[in-house]
Chain A
Amino acid sequence: MRNPTVLSSGFLGVNVEMLKRVVQEGAGAVTFKSIGPKVKSGHRNPTVLAYEWGMINAVGLPSPGYKDMEGELARMKEVGAPVFVSIYGASVEEFREVAEAVAGYNPAVIELNVSCPNTKAEGMVFGCSEKHSAEVVAAVKDVAGKVPVMPKLTSQALDVGRVAKACEEAGADAIAAINTVGPGMLINIEAKKPVLDYKRGGISGPAIRPIAVRCVYDIYEVVDIPILGIGGVTEGRDVIELMQAGATAVGIGSGIYYRGIDVFKKVCEEMKIWMKENGYKDVKKLIGVAHE
């Protein structure tokens, strides 16, 4: 990776052309939107809102299913940067099925979405449990061959460090943390109804940054594998904060809303300035320094 910023899963990653664009806008790596075993149409609108301190969404993992994504997956080399593929399933078997198909395209990483708060059967039900997360990781490792496997964890777990440790023991090559927080809800008081059609949605953006920092910190204490820190990054300082907590690379998603699609470029420039001012030449030297 030419820099530590990664387009987070769930944002923009619908086709190769859009991923290329995000790389041109400065991302060091990009992630395809979560792919499932079959067609899933997602929730009705409104699905994404921005409130004063963050965003809340219940897009609901829309996906054409891996078979209809093969045309895009086959072209991922054209993107010009490492491509991560996020996958989801409603059972260990479904995760295995999708992972096997995706691994054939040799992505840089297979990310396991065991943490989406917006669906009943998929997502957070796995990530809240050490046992279930580890089962998914083990099943996917079994079929992923040489492709690194990275579960994306949720802050809703009682002890995210223990879940991460269980995943590492099951063979995970890296840990991503965190997915959106909550779910939360906003009500339109004139309509007297929740604004999201799905009523509840995951919270992202600046509001959750302290939770992300804490989770990455907790995970770094207990695992030896690299951590992709995600949650509320909008500025270069935020990347440095997550790296000091223990992240090797940092995901950006909602930051696109706050600072534009070129947020990646802006954040990297801001990091460079900070590093110069503070005597850092190598970005890797930042990793985990808050633990010393």
Chain B
Amino acid sequence: MSDMPVSNRVRKVVKESEEVRTIFLEDNVPGAIPGQFVMVWLPGVDEKPYALSYMDGEAAVTVQRRGKFTDEIFKLKKGDYIGVGGPYGNGFDVDVCKRPCIIAGGIGIAPLAPLAEKLARKKPIIIMGAATKEKLIFRERMEKVCKVEHTTDDGSCGRKCFASDILEEVIEKCRVDVVYGCGPEMMLKRVFEICRKNRVECQLSLERYMHCGLGVCGSCAVDGYRVCVDGPVFSSKQLSRMSEFGRFARLKYGKKVGLSEYYAWRE
């Protein structure tokens, strides 16, 4: 039993938008399912968790530029060595749904795109939201799979609103039974509440600062749940038991702060 970054190489880098790159890996991450993540290690820089945005023979992570670490990721080119540990976490449960809806906010589409492909036969409805049309990544990839509703903050593509603003309408119109979501936590909180009101199951992927990824250190705690091992995907039932969901997160040194302070630090 061994869990640490395994040497891998960059196979290719795809520019998804000005601020987003997909890094394809030379070696696959065997056994991964949608919603699971890997720890990406840049020797001498840092190591951080990223959802797999491609799997089944062509593992990749899709990264949004945020700070020092992602600046270094943006410098990667074909053939560069990186360390990859995992897959980690539980992933989405795809057996529970008959009529799934997938809702993504911004880069939250990363773990949901392979999920949409896996669920293609169940004809999922995808709601993709972003600030602008340019930031709606994987648009063509998703349109190949199924019906897509777009929303943008500025109205440059689809409807001018947040993704969660049209969720209730989609749930009713399409008789959705399970909602899968990933995105900013304030959006996820709204998704959770809409699902509860409409008595629809949801599975939402959360994010927290993470040290070990192995379930031992506690840095990614949300109440009594560990995002790295118990999650990152949580069910309606689990989310309803969390007092910190949508409200609090911990900084690197363990201080509990409001979500807005947490997101300001992450930027």
Contact = CB atoms under 8 A, between A and B. Distances in A.
Contacts of A253: 216
B3 A47 contact: no
Interface string A1-22: 0000000001111110110110
Q: Kindly state the interface size class of chain B when it binds its partner.
A: 35 or more
Contact of B243 (A17, A39, A68, A71): A17
A40 B41 CA distance: 23
B253 A64 contact: yes
Nearest to B9: A190
Given A45-B46, A256-B215, A14 B4 contact: no
Interface in A228-273: 253-254, 256-258, 261
The prevalent SS among residues of A at the interface is: loop
Nearest to A21: B224
B244 to A, nearest CB: 8
Contact of B217 (A47, A50, A63): A47
B201 interface: no
A157 interface: no
Contacts of B256: 15, 64, 68, 71
B252 interface: yes
Contact of A49 (B3, B48, B223): B3
Contact of A15 (B44, B215, B217, B221): B221
A182 interface: no
Interface in A47-103: 47-52, 55, 57, 59, 62-64, 68, 71
18 contacts: A11-B216, A17-B244, A18-B226, A21-B225, A33-B254, A39-B253, A39-B255, A45-B48, A46-B5, A48-B212, A50-B2, A55-B216, A64-B251, A64-B253, A68-B256, A190-B81, A195-B5, A256-B216
Contact of A12 (B41, B216, B243): B216
Contacts of A190: 7, 81
B36 interface: no
Contact of A47 (B83, B211, B243, B251): B211
Nearest first, the 8 A-B pairs at minimum CB distance are A21-B224, A48-B212, A45-B47, A64-B255, A190-B7, A12-B218, A17-B223, A50-B3
A254 B215 CA distance: 10
B87 to A, nearest CB: 15
A254 B216 CA distance: 7
Given A44-B46, A48-B211, A64-B254, A11 B218 contact: yes
Of listed B48, B212, B215, B223, residue having the most chain A CB within 10 A: B212
B200 interface: no
B253 A186 contact: no
Interface in B181-231: 211-219, 221, 223-226, 229
Contacts of A226: none
A190 B5 CA distance: 11
A11 B215 CA distance: 9
A258 B1 contact: yes
B83 A195 contact: yes
B221 A49 contact: no
Contact of A17 (B3, B39, B221, B254): B221
Contacts of B219: 14, 62
Nearest to A205: B1
Given A63-B253, A188-B83, A57 B212 contact: yes
B218 A188 contact: no
Contacts of B243: 17
Contacts of A64: 251, 253-256
Given A46-B41, A63-B253, A68-B256, 10 more contacts: A15-B218, A20-B224, A55-B216, A64-B256, A68-B255, A195-B41, A197-B47, A254-B216, A257-B214, A261-B229
B211 A59 contact: yes
Contacts of B229: 261
A18 B218 contact: yes
A188 B253 contact: no
A42 interface: yes
A122 B27 CA distance: 41
A68 B3 CA distance: 33
Nearest to B230: A261
Interface in B127-161: none
A14 B253 contact: no
Nearest to A258: B1
B31 interface: no
Given A18-B224, A48-B217, A64-B254, A191 B81 contact: yes
Interface string B15-54: 0000000000000000000000001010110111000000
